[in-house]
Structure 1
Amino acid sequence: MINWNNFDTLNSYKKMLSLKNAIKLSDVLDTGRIASYAMPMAGGLTYNYAAKQVNEQILSILQEVAEEQQLADKYKALLEGEIINTGEGRKVLHQLARGQHGADVIYSGRNMREFYVEQQGRVAEFAGKVHSGKITGTRGDTFTTVVQIGIGGSDLGPRALYLALEQWARKNGRKRMDARFISNVDPDDASAVVSGLDLPKTLFILVSKSGTTQETLANELFVKEFLKKSGLDPAKHMIAVTSETSPLANNPGYLTSFYMDDFIGGRFSSSSAVGGAVLSLAFGPDVFSEFLSGAAAADAAALEKDIRKNPALLDALIGVYERNALGYPSTAILPYSQALSRFPAHLQQADMESNGKQVNRRGEPVNYETGPVIFGEPGTNGQHSFFQLLHQGTDIIPLQFIGFEENQGGEDIVVDGSTSQKKLCANLAAQIVAFARGQSDSNPNKNFPGERPSSLIYGKQLTPETLGVLLSHYENKIMFQGFVWNINSFDQEGVQLGKILTKKVLSHEMDPVLQAYAGFFGL
């Protein structure tokens, strides 16, 4: 039987708090620790936590947390289709979109895994017809560009994944179409994208589960006006990704529609047709399939109960220790890979929208900290931006580095005896040690306190498979932390109030305070 208990009711919670500041990194970080505190991940990646402020005693307590809070059992229940999203009374099935790791999940007589596989097959078939020229635009032009119109999870994840694979696909002859993205309701966003397009050769993907998302529909109408002014039929240049009950489903205004459901939240939807359509069109269905395989392999690894054999679970528990025992308010995601330039932005939504909660699964206030603030930027750009605060600021902010031995494009140049890729990796290695050890100096401005903890995920190269592993790792880390804190990581009521007040402004149903602020903009 699974128990859903608040974190601070556990015996292991009290033990964990008693171990605050149990070690100093400057005392323990050596080559032996670096070797022993490394864990293989799926896809040939490695998770190294040697520069985290944990030792064997703390790890043993974190294992107790995992067992007392039944984290593996809760994940298994999720995979088997139990109602985990208590706020909305829904199953949580984004892992099912990329592999079957539990019992068959049946809903209203439908096998949900078969439904997701069917949609993936429909996307693959459509992409093949686009690439072969069987499906063309108004004037018979072959499509060369695809533009995704969506916001939040319909944009951040797919955009991050496209950018992550664009250079790899070009180098490996897998690039089929260019992709662009429109998300912001600010008309300058859509205008900047559309003005640079060859519209007769452009296919648009409208992504909205409900079919009523205000920003997305506004951008759709914006794009349709451009198409009409160019003498093009919008219905021959648009497809929809939506639910089967939305007004976009089976709508003659689109070439076709692909379907998702309420069991896959927007921020977790990149494994569904939300990410599958644009990635399959841009790179081919086989690339999307390789991405799903990597994610599925990491999902399977997350079932392991031993935290020292489960990277996502261990990463989650170390993060809980940092948040609740050490009191660290934020976490920085720092990929030393330009391809992952938008990956921190995606994780920002995935994590903060999931675990930015102050009540438990029963709606009762919790008396401990939950999700941290997430931010990040690629190295080495971040080093010349906010690393000053990370090194010498008054807050200690845990760091999560991601790095690869090889770049994706293959092009490089030797300067001062080393290639740019080696310089990139050298910077990454140096930063880990600098944050952990610091530097003593008689000049206070040059004194580095150190004791800034970090983890490292590394591998040979960023590929579709390793990208899938990365996505799954962080999604499952978020899930496990939500389970520890006994919160519902799968609803997002915090985004709703602003939407409601926006409608009041636009319909002129405002109270005096709201009207005063709206007045600044002539509303």
Structure 2
Amino acid sequence: MLPKINPSKTLAWQKLKDHFLKNKNVHLNDLFQADDSRFEKLSFEIEDFLFDFSKNIANEETFKLLIELAKECKLEDAIDALFHGKHINETEERAVLHTALRSFSNESFIVDGKEINCIVKNEREKLKSFCELVHTKKWKGYSGKNINYIVNIGIGGSDLGSSMVTEALRPYQIESIKPYFISNVDGSNLSEVLKKIELEETLFIVASKTFTTQETMTNAYSIRELFLESCKDEALLKNHFIAVTGNKEKAMEFGIQEENIFKIWDWVCGRFSLWGSMGLPIALTIGYQNYEELLKGANSIDLHFKSEKFEKNIPVIMGLLSIWYINFYNAQSEAILAYDHYLSKFKSYLQQGSMESNGKSIDRNGDPVSYQTGVVVWGETGTNGQHSFHQLLHQGTPLIPCDFIVSVQSQNHFNDHQDEVLSNALAQTEALMKGRTKAEVLEKNLNSDKIDINYKVFSGNKPSNSILIKKLTPYNLGSLLAVYEHKIFVKGIIWNIFSFDQWGVELGKELSSHKLSSIRSKSQSTHSDSSTNGLIGKILEWRS
């Protein structure tokens, strides 16, 4: 269903290699000096966003060749296949249509010959009605008390999206609802949440596509046991336990009423599932209307992505620039630097989206790749990073492309604080680009302490994207998430890999079951190497 083109064998890739060798010593300062209109040419305004790509080590020829690469790799055909429900997740024989969950148009979405618009709309209405019951206090706990706590029990895609969005949109949180998330199977996560809630006022959402995920089900059964110790009646589970899953039968075995089970389909990839019922914790926390705004913001970028020409297509440009640095400059990581405190979990969400999707070494032909795919995603919020790892960005040896995400209007009234946030973000992008020469150190008398001047010299020429957001609203957050989702897709298509499976996750799960048996039976594993058995032995010794 997807093109199977080795990018390194394309004419555009060869041209890019020659172009890189010819221009690898060009400095960003030179590019700006050569073109007074560089910012105007390489910045794009869409709704409440300004995307500035001018601080990238790329000229007009670079962008031209990158777009040639996208076209040779048939990116346009792949985008069409994505939105038309083709089985682009070929190793699992599935469509990838999370975009359908956030569409409000009359456009028809087809999966396996069946229109899915109706079932998507019905599920959305079910979510809306349920939120209304909770928010109007018509849904009560078993003792007649209101629901004041929401606890989502999930991991990976069943946790990261919802926890990130509820944190990002904290200013929109309904006052009477306090959300918590249990993902780690470490009992400390469970214990700390239990300290903050009242069982009879809590709604537990068990979020698992298969309803067999080990960590999730261990946590869910522990809570179920504690709950039954309190209420003494299994029939009362219906007041407090909800499921979001594709396995209705397993959820009912757990004791969840059929009407309390929300659906996730196999054509929705877990790490991009917050747009459907996996987003129930979000809707319960910020209100359904705000949740719908989140979906609409994402949908606006979907429309842009599938219709805008590549030269002005934001996710395409971001994906191509990432490939430029990874495959030609040998960049090993990308820094996500969000200058908005509420985006503190954004990097974690992107880590899964990017690294689980594109951490692949076998191409769509089934052959080992001969070029780098995937990249380490990391970062920090605001000026915190400036006082820790920005030293590496400025004077370290690795080239680390950076995305600066900056909210112009704060959610809070401390305007003098926001002035400092904005000035720091702008200063960092400028400092990374310009650097500081020996001549500038001497001119500004910055070496009066007689320390070797080289310690105070910065090479500059460190690339960055600047993303200005007018204000972090539900709509704008949805748009931002969709931009990065589609950037991941663009890179996967050009790298000729399957971005929507995650077979690498499975091996650890399989081996874990053998280790669990050994630890619980207090015996060595016949499946393990000597190192692992040695570790098991010490664990058993110390636990005895």
Instruction: Check whether TM > 0.5.
Output: yes
Equivalent residue for 2:422, pick from 422, 425, 448: 425
Q: For 2:270 and 2:437, locate their aligned partners in 1 and report how far apart those are by CA, in whole Å.
A: 47
Equivalent residue for 2:67, pick from 63, 68, 87: 63
Correspondence for 2:380: 377
Equivalent residue for 2:42, pick from 37, 51, 60: 37
Q: For 2:266 and 2:473, locate their aligned partners in 1 and report how far apart those are by CA, in whole Å.
A: 30
Asked if 1:511 is matched to 2:528, the reply is: yes
Q: For 2:381 and 2:181, locate their aligned partners in 1 and report how far apart those are by CA, in whole Å.
A: 20
Asked if 1:358 is matched to 2:375, the reply is: no
The CA deviation at 1:110 is 4.2
Q: Which runs of 5+ in 1 are unaligned?
A: 414-418
Equivalent residue for 1:412, pick from 411, 414, 429: 414
Q: Partner letter of residue 358 of structure 1?
A: S
Q: For 2:116 and 2:252, locate their aligned partners in 1 and report how far apart those are by CA, in whole Å.
A: 18
Q: For 1:228 and 1:124, locate their aligned partners in 2 and report how far apart those are by CA, in whole Å.
A: 29
Correspondence for 1:268: 272
Query: Using a 3 Å threshold, how does the CA distance of structure 1 residues 22 and 37 change in structure 2: closer, same or farther?
Result: farther
Correspondence for 2:53: 49
Q: Which runs of 5+ in 2 are unaligned?
A: 439-451, 519-524
Correspondence for 2:90: 86
Equivalent residue for 2:492, pick from 465, 482, 498: 482
The CA deviation at 1:320 is 0.6
- 5 Å-filtered alignment, 1:453-472, equals 453-472=463-482
Query: What TM-score, normalized to structure 1?
Result: 0.93
Q: Helix, strand or coil: the match of 2:409?
A: coil
Q: For 1:246 and 1:318, locate their aligned partners in 2 and report how far apart those are by CA, in whole Å.
A: 46
Asked if 1:493 is matched to 2:496, the reply is: no
Q: Helix, strand or coil: the match of 1:315?
A: helix
Correspondence for 2:250: 247
Correspondence for 1:72: 76
The CA deviation at 1:220 is 0.7
The CA deviation at 1:198 is 2.2
Q: For 2:13 and 2:248, locate their aligned partners in 1 and report how far apart those are by CA, in whole Å.
A: 44
Correspondence for 1:416: none
Asked if 1:317 is matched to 2:314, the reply is: no
Question: For 1:77-99, what per-residue CA distance to the aligned partner results, in whole angstroms no more than 9, with x for missing partners?
Answer: 11101110111111111111111
Q: For 1:358 and 1:350, locate their aligned partners in 2 and report how far apart those are by CA, in whole Å.
A: 17
Q: For 1:22 and 1:63, locate their aligned partners in 2 and report how far apart those are by CA, in whole Å.
A: 22
Question: Is 2:4–2:365's contact at 8 Å kept on the other side of the alignment?
Answer: no
Question: Is 1:360–1:485's contact at 8 Å kept on the other side of the alignment?
Answer: yes
Q: For 1:238 and 1:3, locate their aligned partners in 2 and report how far apart those are by CA, in whole Å.
A: 44
Correspondence for 2:200: 200
Question: Is 2:359–2:374's contact at 8 Å kept on the other side of the alignment?
Answer: yes
Percentage of identical aligned residues? 35
Question: Is 1:211–1:246's contact at 8 Å kept on the other side of the alignment?
Answer: no
The CA deviation at 1:251 is 6.2
Question: For 1:177-228, what per-residue CA distance to the aligned partner results, in whole angstroms no more than 9, with x for missing partners?
Answer: 2211110000000100111112221111110000000000111122223323
- How many residue pairs end up in the alignment? 511
Query: Using a 3 Å threshold, how does the CA distance of structure 1 residues 105 and 389 change in structure 2: closer, same or farther?
Result: same
The CA deviation at 1:32 is 2.8
Q: For 1:359 and 1:465, locate their aligned partners in 2 and report how far apart those are by CA, in whole Å.
A: 37
- Of Structure 1 and Structure 2, the greater helix share is in 2
The CA deviation at 1:63 is 1.4
Q: For 1:393 and 1:492, locate their aligned partners in 2 and report how far apart those are by CA, in whole Å.
A: 33
The CA deviation at 1:134 is 1.7
Q: Partner letter of residue 437 of structure 1?
A: K
Q: For 2:267 and 2:14, locate their aligned partners in 1 and report how far apart those are by CA, in whole Å.
A: 35
Asked if 1:452 is matched to 2:462, the reply is: yes
Query: What TM-score, normalized to structure 2?
Result: 0.90
Correspondence for 1:294: 297
Compare CA radii of gyration and give the structure with the larger one: 2
Q: Partner letter of residue 493 of structure 2?
A: F
Structure 1 residue ranges (4+ consecutive) displaced by more than 6 angstroms after TM superposition: 100-103
Correspondence for 2:441: none
Correspondence for 2:434: 437
Q: Greater shift after overlay, 436-445 or 396-405?
A: 436-445
The CA deviation at 1:47 is 1.1
Q: Partner letter of residue 40 of structure 2?
A: A
- 5 Å-filtered alignment, 1:176-191, equals 177-191=177-191
